[in-house]
Each structure stands twice: as structure tokens, then as C-alpha cells.
Amino acid sequence: MIELIVVLKPETTEARVQEITERLEKRGFRVHHSQGEKRTLLGVIGHPEEGLSHSLEAMAEVEKVVPISRPYKLVSREFSPENSVIELNEQLSIGGKQIVVMAGPCAVEGEEQVLESAQEVKKAGAQVLRGGAFKPRTSPYSFQGMKGEGLEMLNRAREETGMLIITEVIDPHNVDKVARYSDILQVGTRNMQNFYLLQELSRIRKPVLLKRGMSATIEEWLMAAEYLMSGGNYQVLLCERGIRTFETYTRNTLDLSAVALAKQLTHLPVVVDPSHGTGRRELISAMSKAAVAAGADGLLLEVHPRPEEAFSDGPQSLTPGDFQQLMDELKGVASSVGRSI
Ligand code: PEP
Ligand code: MN
């Protein structure tokens, strides 16, 4: 367990960071590094003896030593007071001023459908194309996705349009393959506590979007994120996608308080998925705007060229026209909270 976070002064050299790390390691601690924009933070993992804080604080390079009280450590805002800004490519990052929009069909259904979706959502201003090739479905008789073929189709859409790709990974043995085809790997609600999958994802160096389990508390969700970070993958995006409540008029209850709270408790970017969060097309616009007002750093939206023909989640999919209108309307909401879209 990380007990202490050592905040180093901005001017500390890499050589000194290394020396301090080695000194701690000699005393039996493991050390986690986090390189922020301005300073390096060290997470000291182990059971610090009395006086360790003081002896660290006595070092010239140490600005302060922060004991971490939360069960999640690296995920905690105590560990990294500044927002984490995660680079998706040279032009695009998430967690900064710009709100990132990820849009596309629930599932990859065929080459033309993916390409048409990609062109439509790109035209309306989305930067990332979503689409599941592996679909974890409640019923074994439902469409399970186009699997490897679907990944190839996403790849062609990426080549044609230049969009980034987010797609779901469901099998720990498939992590490297899905990582080759995607810019962000998505962990679905049903796999939030698939710890073996999370451990595999902690070894790669690509962003992972971690959906909140449909019955997970906020703390369980953040502990799942800790699995990713403790294994060394710091590129974690949290995603609120609705939780199960007694309400039946909506598919799930979109928990926007979790968005505002996650922004306080953690330094990680938070994405909102109003499509699965409500299950109803007519609610997506209002919930997307509310999500941006609540502090979301990104939106994950289902858009299908012909929702009535969708293999899955048609009722919650926007038409390209709806999506274009939403993107136009979101601009004003984003600027009212100091963001751009
Ligand atoms: C999805 O985004 O395609 C999906 C399956 O979502 P969830 O895991 O939130 O149900
Ligand atoms: Mn879906």
C-alpha cells in the first residue's frame, strides 16, 4: 500500500530523482513515479517507519510529503493535485480545456456501415470513432460482434478518415491485438472488476477507458482504476455510463453526481456515456449538455446512419442529423464552463 507521496520541487534533476528512488528502494520500499507537467511525484509503497516523512522532508529537493488517506492511491487527487491530461495523439489530448467527443455505432456491423458512420461523425466534429468488434451481450443469442474482422474494418475507417479509434476489449488474451487496432481500449461495464483483464491492460502503454460497473460504487470504480495505474499504465480515463436503480423508464440511471465527485476525488479525465446511461435517444441531448456542465472531459455517444437497422442499441442511437445538432448546441454549454468542443 502506498502510504506517502513525495512531491519533488520542479527543478529536481532526473539524476537526483533516481538517487532518491534508489535510496528508498534500499530501505525496502517500492517507488512509483508520476511525471506531471511541472513536477515529479514519488509514491512510496510499503510500511514507512516512524520518522521517514521527516527525513524525506529534510532533503533539499523535497517540497512536501503527503500521506494518502484514500484506499485508492495513484488515482487519488492527493497523489496528483493537477488534472491529468492524457495525450491521444500529437493533436489531441483529454483532460485539458477541450472536450473530446467519441461517437459511432454500438457495434461494427460491416465495412460500409463503419465507414459511413465515421464520415458522418467526423463531419459533425467528433475526433474519435467508437464501435464494438467484440460485444459482451446479456443474451448468448444476441449478435456477438464481428470480432477480428470488425477490428480490420475499424482500421480501414481510421485510414480513410484519420479518426482515432476506441473499441472494447473483453478477453485478457486479446489485449495486445486490440491495442494494435485502437487508440483507446474500452473496458465495458460488465468487465470493470475483471481484475485479470485490468492487470493485462496495466502492462500496455495506451489509454484505457474504464466504464463504471452498472452496480459498482464510486470507490469500487476507482479501485479498478487503481489496478490499471498500479501496474504502470497511468493513461486511464474514467467513464460514467449509468447504474442500475429501481427506475424502469430509463435503461440505467446516469449518475452525474459521480462525474462531479470523480473530478474532485481523482485527477483522471472523466468521460460520460449518455447513450447507455439512459437507453433513450430523446434524452441524449439533455444529458450530454448536463454532463459537460458537470465537468465531463469527454462524451461517448452512439450514432448510427440508420438506427432502425442497428444490430444493437438502435433505440439509444442518434441519427447523424441529431448528432450534428447536438454538437452545435454543445458549443455554447462548453464555453459557458470555460471549455471548448
Ligand atoms: C458499449 O459502449 O458498447 C457498451 C457495451 O457499453 P457498456 O459496457 O457501458 O454496456
Ligand atoms: Mn451499445
Does the beta carbon of 303 lie inside 6 Å of ligand 1?
no
Task: Let me know whether 55 and 110 are in one domain.
Answer: no
238 φ, ψ (degrees, to nearest 5): -90, 145
Residue whose CA lies nearest to ligand 1 atom number 3 = 106
- 189 in contact with ligand 1, CB cutoff 6 A: yes
What domain range includes position 21?
2-67
**Cβ–Cβ under 8 Å, residues 172 and 179:** no
Cα of 316 from ligand 1 centre, angstroms: 12
- At residue 194, the pLDDT reads 98
- Cβ of residue 251 lying under 6 Å from some atom of ligand 1: no
Strand, coil or helix: 35: strand
Tell me: pLDDT of 246 over 70: yes
Nearest ligand atom owner, CA of 241:
1
Amino acid identity of residue 188, one-letter, is: G
**CATH number of the domain that residue 28 is part of:** 3.30.70.1140
Q: What is the pLDDT of residues 41-69, one digit of tens each?
A: 898 988 878 788 899 999 999 998 988 88
Range scoring the smallest mean pLDDT among 74-78, 150-154, 196-200, 264-268: 74-78
Instruction: Indicate which ligand has the atom closest to the C-alpha of 194.
Output: 1
233 Cα: distance to centroid of ligand 2 (angstroms)? 26
Q: Based on the domain organization, do 321 and 283 belong to the same domain?
A: yes
117/245 same-domain check = yes
What ligand is nearest to the CA atom of residue 170?
Answer: 1
Indicate if the pLDDT at residue 152 is higher than 70: yes
- How many angstroms separate the CA atoms of 277 and 295, rounded? 16
Distance of alpha carbon 90 from alpha carbon 10, whole angstroms: 24
Average confidence (pLDDT) over 105-134: 98
Q: What is the pLDDT of residue 50?
A: 79
For residues 115-131, average pLDDT: 98
Mean predicted confidence (pLDDT) in 110-116 = 98
The beta-strand segments (E) located in the chain are 2-8, 30-35, 40-45, 62-67, 86-87, 93-94, 100-104, 128-130, 164-168, 184-187, 208-211, 236-240, 270-272, 298-302
Least confident range from 5-9, 188-192, 208-212: namely 5-9
Atom nearest to 242 CA in ligand 1: 9
Give the Cα separation of 134 and 117 in Å (integer): 18
Whether 90 and 211 share a structural domain: yes
Are the C-beta atoms of residues 324 and 82 closer than 8 Å to each other? Answer: no
Q: Whose CA is nearest to atom 4 of ligand 1?
A: 188
Residue 220 lies in a domain: yes
The pTM of the whole model exceeds 0.85: yes
Structure confidence at residue 224 (pLDDT):
98
Cα-to-centroid distance, 191 and ligand 1 (Å): 10
30 and 150 share one domain: no
Q: Give the pLDDT of residue 33.
A: 84
In this predicted structure, the answer to whether residue 196 has a pLDDT above a threshold of 70 is: yes
Window from 1-5, 51-55, 213-217, 317-321 with minimum mean pLDDT: 1-5
Instruction: Report percent pLDDT > 90 for the chain.
Output: 85
Q: What angle, 0 to 180 degrees and rounded to 10, lies between the N-to-C axes of helices 218-230 and 256-265?
A: 40
CATH number, residue 93: 3.20.20.70
Give the separation between CA 185 and CA 165, rounded to whole angstroms.
Answer: 9
Contact between 120 and 99 (Cβ < 8 Å): no
Q: Is the CB of 289 under 6 A from ligand 1?
A: no
Which one of the ligands is nearest to 191 CA? 1
Predicted pLDDT at 51: 86
Mean pLDDT, rounded, of the chain: 95
76 occurs within a structural domain: no
Q: How far is the CA of 161 from the centre of ligand 1 (A)?
A: 24
Read off the pLDDT band of 37 (50, 70, 90).
Answer: low
Provide the number of structural domains found in the chain: 2
Asked whether residue 103 falls in the same domain as residue 62, the answer is no
Strand partners, 237: 209
CA-CA distances (angstroms) from residue 260 to 54, 75, 146, 165, 254? 35, 15, 36, 26, 12
Whether 211 lines ligand 1, by a CB cut-off of 6 Å, is: yes
CA-nearest residue for atom 9, ligand 1, is 189
Confidence of residue 35 (pLDDT cuts 50, 70, 90): low
Query: For 260-288, what is each residue's pLDDT tens digit?
Result: 999 999 999 999 999 999 999 999 999 99
Measured distance CA(211)–CA(132) in Å, rounded: 14
The protein residue whose alpha carbon is closest to atom 5 in ligand 1 is: 188
